[in-house]
Structure 1
Amino acid sequence: MTMPQLGFLGLGTMGAAMARHLLDSGHSIRVWNRTASAADAVVDAGAERAENAGEAIATGLFFSMLSNDDAAEATFTAESLTAAPAGSLHVCHSTLSLAATDRLVEVHRQAGVEYVAAPVLGRANLAASGTLNIVAAGSASAVERAKPYLDILGKRTWVVGAQPRNANLVKIGVNYNLIHALQALAESVTLIERGGVDGETFVEILTDAAFTGAAYTGYGALIARKAYSPPGFTVALGLKDLALTEQAAAAHGVTLPSAPVLRDVFESALADPALAGLDWSAIAEVTRGLVQPD
């Protein structure tokens, strides 16, 4: 059975690695990038070059990895989508805003093109080896149609609903955790270094003990289930440890930008009789309480 030709639009570091992996898996690919030279390496490896976005869209089964909202919306317009044959499917791997995703879904709907949002978790080395995690959302039929290709690109596909915006919401949430991790590492490593301890040694201790991933699987599950009792470590003890951190930072002349925000959260939890005696992960309920009603 002849495999269909695929289109791939957006050949930055991630997109090029993904397109090359599809090519190496035996698929014929027509590729396009706004800066044509970025496609050279994939074309040299055997892909066909599209002279414009419409030529890649014309394959009827096309994937994209564009850098941002503006790039995606400039590429997939009512005009460019006229190149799509009946029954076309677009699998969009870009990390986009919820509003842009909604607009893209609508322009695709009007063009008669099915749309699956499938942002990826992982870096270019994982894209090259086909071991990404992929978060997908779209109609059940569209996701099912995309799945054989997602299985090539990733080690696991997480389907999170029929609304494409949900996939981007999950990716945004994952990246927000990474942003927090970057800042937490920046603050703790700076503090440790100012105290005269080697930063690399500290990171090795940190990742061999508290942060092997267990913090996310353990505390993440407690927060998701709101299972804060019996407490393993109380809110008051958490605030005590935060205070110790603040004191150590002051002693070493280190500013911790997130510490005042964390203090506000812990103090709010302690002031709430329903939370004060629970596990320190119950500080999550302070944030839940900030959600505006629908």
Structure 2
Amino acid sequence: MTSNAADAAPQRPVVAVLGTGIMGSGMARSLLRAGLDVRAWNRTHSKAAPLAADGATVTETAEEAVRGADVVLTMLNDGPSVAAALAAAAGGLHAGQVLLQSSTVGPEATVDLAQRTADLGPVYLDAPVSGTKQPAEQGALTVFVSGPSAVRAKAEPVLDAIGQRTVWVGEVPGAASRLKLVVNTWVITMVNNIAECLNLAEGLGVDPQTFLDVMKGGPLDSAYLQGKSAAVLSGDLTPSFTLSTALKDTRLILDAARSSGVRLDLVAASADRFARAEAAGHGDEDMIATYYAGRAPEKDGD
């Protein structure tokens, strides 16, 4: 007796992506390139709609997106946004699913979201990512994951599609979110350091390009320094990671530091810079727009 080849083919995992902003849309496209079936939902439908042209099923509701999905991937702004999405999707969530929670929400919110998820049925994996727009679009993120190892096999096709590296850091949700805050501390202080170097160059009348040329190829150079500086000098602040989101993450870091008895002076100063730049209207630009928080004010008559 022969079997039909199509019947013998393994079923492709179905992944529901809740949240299709800069990061979520890039991750959804990486999942599609890997051959996974993707359902996409966003509270603002127009942000998810373009994914239909890439092969995703764009749904009107979160419940419709998650019903029957093997893995649910959340990529939203903060803890309350994820909680709201889970509430909207509750009717379609069930035991046997894996919730891959990739938003940066901080350790405290992670505990709350893990409990909400358990009450709804799926197994919760704390899975924040390191990377911005381009790595998300290329499937080249680094994913930090903590949660029950029993569901690793079910999550791995998704993790392999969105990331170039997966780092399993524990069995209990929260460990991955704590690591993510440490990584983001490095990024946040670095981007503000770049901005301040450019501010000082401008203030002292030094050509910023001369500074960059001096650094280029040396032990203190980096693609990040050159790339973020180029964005400022060209005036192209198209976001790969918005300044307002960076401010949100900075506040999560400071909250976690305070609760653990750690003082982070550079991160506190970074929060002040981000807040000033946001107040000046740069919140939706790339986070290197923190540069504008340090520009010398124009003198009367200039």
Q: Is TM-score (shorter-chain normalized) higher than 0.5? A: yes
Q: Does 1:7 align with 2:13?
A: no
Moved over 6 A (4+): none
Which residue is equivalent to 2:86? 76
TM-score when scaled to structure 2?
Answer: 0.66
2-structure distance, mates of 1:187, 1:6 = 42
Letter in structure 2 aligned against 1:8: V
Select which of 133, 142, 147 maps to 1:133: 142
Pick closer, same or farther for the CA change 1:196–1:43 going to 2, 3 Å.
same
User: Any residues of structure 2 matched to 1:54-133 within 5 Å, and which?
Assistant: 54-58=63-67, 59-77=69-87, 80-133=89-142
Stretches of structure 1 that go unaligned for 5 or more consecutive residues are 214-256, 262-294
Q: Is the 8 A contact 2:21 2:47 kept in 1?
A: yes
Q: Tell me if the contact between 2:16 and 2:72 (Cα under 8 Å) persists in the aligned partners.
A: yes
**Using the alignment, how far apart are the partners of 1:30 and 1:191 within structure 2?**
48
- Matches of 1:152 and 1:108 in 2, distance apart? 23
Q: Give how far 1:50 is off.
A: 1.9
After TM superposition, give the deviation of residue 85 of structure 1 in Å: 3.0
Structure 1, residues 147-182: CA drift from partner, whole Å, max 9, x if none? Answer: 222111111111111222121111121111122112
Greater C-alpha radius of gyration:
1
Distance of 1:187 and 1:33 partners within structure 2: 36
Equivalent position to 1:185, from 194, 197, 200: 194
Moved more, 59-68 or 151-160: 59-68
- Is the alpha carbon distance of 1:5 and 1:187 closer, same or farther for their aligned partners in structure 2, counting shifts above 3 Å? closer
Q: In the superposition, relative to structure 1, how do residues 163 and 93 fare at CA in structure 2: closer, same or farther (>3 Å)?
A: same
Q: Write the letter of the residue equivalent to 1:66.
A: L
- Separation in 2 of the partners of 1:81 and 1:162? 25
Q: What is the aligned-residue identity percentage?
A: 32
- Output the amino acid matched with 1:175: N
Asked if the contact 2:95–2:123 (Cα under 8 Å) also holds between the matched residues in 1, the reply is no
Larger RCO: Structure 1 or Structure 2 (Cα < 8 Å, ≥ 6 residues apart)? Answer: 2
Mapped to 2, the partners of 1:159 and 1:205 lie a distance apart of 39
Q: TM-score, normalised by structure 1?
A: 0.68
Structure 2 residue identity aligned to 1:74 = A
Alignment RMSD: 2.1
Structure 1 residues 224-235: aligned runs within 5 Å? none
Q: Is the 8 A contact 2:94 2:120 kept in 1?
A: no
Q: Is the 8 A contact 1:86 1:112 kept in 2?
A: yes
| 1:20 and 2:29 correspond | yes
Q: Deviations along 1:8-50, whole A, 9 cap, x unmatched?
A: 1100011011111211221111111101111111012221122
Deviation (angstroms), 1:207: 4.8
Give the counterpart letter for 1:72 in structure 2: V
Separation in structure 1 between the aligned mates of residue 16 and residue 207 of structure 2, nearest angstrom: 49
Return 5+ residue gaps in structure 2 as ranges: 1-9, 223-264, 270-302
